[in-house]
Chain A
């Protein structure tokens, strides 16, 4: 394990040290440096402190864990690997992610999982232990998002306009969602045992990471949201003359 003291380093210097490190790295005193681990495929990085925006952007197989909160755009366009955050994360987490996993113990800001996609064996997963802000899963085209609402179950698990423009993938909300308004083009229903089977391995992993009881968490209730069409714009256009 290589220790990197991030105090006083800018993002370029810090990432250079990470790239040069021959083995796993532990970053101490992280304070807002952006793009940590961007585009890497073979690193294991533990971060103490608060990484800046775009943590693990274009991540391609590395494993990042943050003992603290993370900021905006965690895992932007991520292709593979994992990002585990022991605190909360900011806005637009997992933007356009195509593969890998993001596990967050706390809450997520606005637009979590926006335009998340899936392809063949690539199926991105995002599990949020707390609550998610507005526009969760906006334009979602694939993959799984689960919001468990474990920290303050009495509060609404998700903000306004979840799943707007969704045309693929699934969203699981650990709530009966009587207080959530969904847009017209998606269907929300109580999760079936088959649905739950789909998220079970990820919930189990989440519970092991953050010390929750798997059985209790899976008790739910869970609502599952799926899009009605993978071609939402099909009827919109007519040929010009």
Chain B
């Protein structure tokens, strides 16, 4: 080994007057940053291993710890930012493709933060959600093209299969393997309690979670892990994963080291074998081929379940969505490029795809222009961070939102962005039993329920302020939105006016 060119990013700031040498930090850190020196009678730190997940900070009983940014820096250079320099060092020493986790941290524009919501004043009354009825329930699926009646003149009320949600938010796909058993348990229980759905991701459905089937979306990806008849029957809907916002155009790969025990059983592949989800589905080269997969799933489940097609937001997303809306799919899920991931090549995560706001606006418009908006419901994710993002997404044309990073934050994630290491100290993105048990699904599901209830109330307040009393009336209602600091082109794509107009 030569010199390690990379200076640690963080420093462990230990207040020696407060530290009681209880060694909790040492026990809690799977990265092995902390250790105790018997000779010196002090705690030592190896900052090179620290990822700033704040587990030790949160659990230190005397609040003796702080993790701070290491002020030691390269000579300032606007072109060669410190991360780029370090990445060159890392690749020069390993020859590897850079791998990162969670959504891109790069400072791309977040359009949600440049869109403002309307409110009623004087001319139309706002609505108080505490006193007056307000509907947050939504149905996802195909809408009938016309009203039809039987020979006796009665309405034919048989609709294509629908998903019913108590609020327009679902937990997005995260596979068992990328996240832990307890994380899945928390999501499944919370979804059931809330009357919404969670998504298995592409790693199969653990046998313990079949009972949450009515609140489960089962995913079918190119690797087909854990996909069999019982799995397809188990869920309320089936999602075909074509792409993911954090890594459009490439597949997934769960390393063999994580294919252990129940993960192996649930994916139905041997322990220690890499779980490779190739970039394309090998049988899909066209919309016609996609239609074949959609209908094979419908046939296998007797046309009882809506089929979702999930794609990453990419440059031609409007044309792609138009094709999907004609493929027989009931729901299109679009994942924006700021969306999270358990692991993605850094260069792809940070450079490929487009923001969800622009993708959503152009897809909704395109489907309306072509008269096929009712063929499908639109679900958007990547990244929806709060209730106002949800309201803005609905007003831009979405039927519902997918959240994942926000849900993980509710479970204790501190966005240290090292999921790929498998050493998540919060028990979320890990399969190590000693770490998994740190996440209590009773508490986890309760925190998720709290978060969603809070958002639901905020959504109602925002709607009430606009004088709108149902999600249905807000959907695609772009008059309720105004842009700030956006160019004419951006406003045109978003289909909204500038503030003051």
Contacts and interface: CB of A to CB of B under 8 A. Distances in A.
Interface of A: 11-12, 15, 19, 34-35, 38-39, 41, 53-54, 57-58, 60, 72-73, 76-77, 79, 91-92, 95-96, 98, 111, 114-115, 117-120, 122, 138-139, 141-142, 165, 167-168, 230-241
Contacts of A232: 274, 276
Contact of A95 (B274, B282, B300, B421): B282
Nearest to A117: B269
Contacts of A39: 229, 232, 299-301
Contact of A239 (B90, B253, B270): B90
B292 A53 contact: yes
A185 to B, nearest CB: 12
B151 interface: no
A165 to B, nearest CB: 7
Interface in B182-234: 220, 222-224, 227-230, 232
Contacts of B268: 98, 117, 119, 122
B223 A11 contact: no
B107 interface: no
A236 B253 CA distance: 11
B61 interface: no
Contact of B98 (A11, A58, A77, A240): A240
Given A142-B270, A167-B276, A240-B87, A57 B296 contact: yes
B91 A96 contact: no
Contacts of A233: 253, 255, 274, 276
Contacts of B278: 115, 139, 165
A58 B300 contact: yes
Contacts of A34: 292, 295-296, 299
A55 B35 CA distance: 60
A171 to B, nearest CB: 17
A238 B295 contact: no
B432 interface: no
Contacts of A119: 264, 268-270
Query: Would you call the interface of chain A mostly helix, strand, loop, or mixed?
Result: loop
A99 to B, nearest CB: 9
A239 B91 CA distance: 9
B344 to A, nearest CB: 9
A229 B303 CA distance: 41
A238 B301 CA distance: 42
B451 interface: no
Interface of B: 6, 9, 83, 86-87, 90-91, 94-100, 220, 222-224, 227-230, 232, 253, 255-256, 264, 268-270, 272-274, 276, 278, 282-283, 292-293, 295-297, 299-303, 345-346, 418, 420-421
Contacts of A19: 302
A241 B86 contact: yes
B274 A167 contact: yes
A229 B281 CA distance: 23
Contact of A238 (B99, B292, B299): B99
A11 B294 CA distance: 13
B295 to A, nearest CB: 6
B275 to A, nearest CB: 8
Contacts of A167: 273-274, 276
A111 B282 contact: yes
Contact of A92 (B227, B230, B264, B282): B282
Given A98-B228, A117-B269, A38 B299 contact: yes
A77 to B, nearest CB: 5
25 contacts: A15-B299, A34-B295, A54-B293, A58-B227, A58-B229, A60-B230, A73-B283, A73-B296, A77-B227, A92-B282, A98-B224, A111-B282, A115-B222, A117-B269, A142-B270, A165-B276, A230-B274, A231-B273, A231-B274, A236-B96, A238-B91, A238-B97, A239-B98, A240-B87, A240-B100
A119 B97 CA distance: 30
Given A233-B274, A239-B90, A241-B9, A79 B296 contact: no
Given A96-B227, A230-B270, 20 more contacts: A34-B296, A35-B295, A54-B296, A58-B229, A58-B232, A76-B296, A77-B228, A95-B282, A115-B223, A139-B278, A165-B278, A230-B274, A231-B273, A233-B253, A237-B98, A238-B95, A238-B97, A239-B90, A240-B98, A241-B6
Nearest to A114: B282
Query: Which of B95, B96, B274, B278 is the most central at the interface, judged by chain A CB atoms within 10 Å of its CB?
Result: B274
Query: Which of A73, A96, A111 is the most central at the interface, judged by chain B CB atoms within 10 Å of its CB?
Result: A96
Contacts of A11: 295, 299
A58 B297 CA distance: 8
A79 B99 contact: no
A141 B296 contact: no
State the 8 A-B residue pairs at the shortest beta-carbon distance, nearest first. Answer: A39-B300, A238-B96, A96-B224, A240-B100, A60-B229, A35-B299, A238-B94, A241-B86
B283 A95 contact: yes
Contact of B229 (A54, A79, A240): A79
Contact of A77 (B94, B224, B253): B224
A241 B87 contact: yes
B429 to A, nearest CB: 14
B300 to A, nearest CB: 3
Contacts of A58: 227-229, 232, 296-297, 300
B276 A139 contact: yes
A96 B267 CA distance: 12
Given A11-B295, A38-B300, A232-B274, A76 B232 contact: no
A175 B418 CA distance: 48
Nearest to A111: B282
Given A60-B228, A114-B282, A118-B270, A73 B292 contact: yes
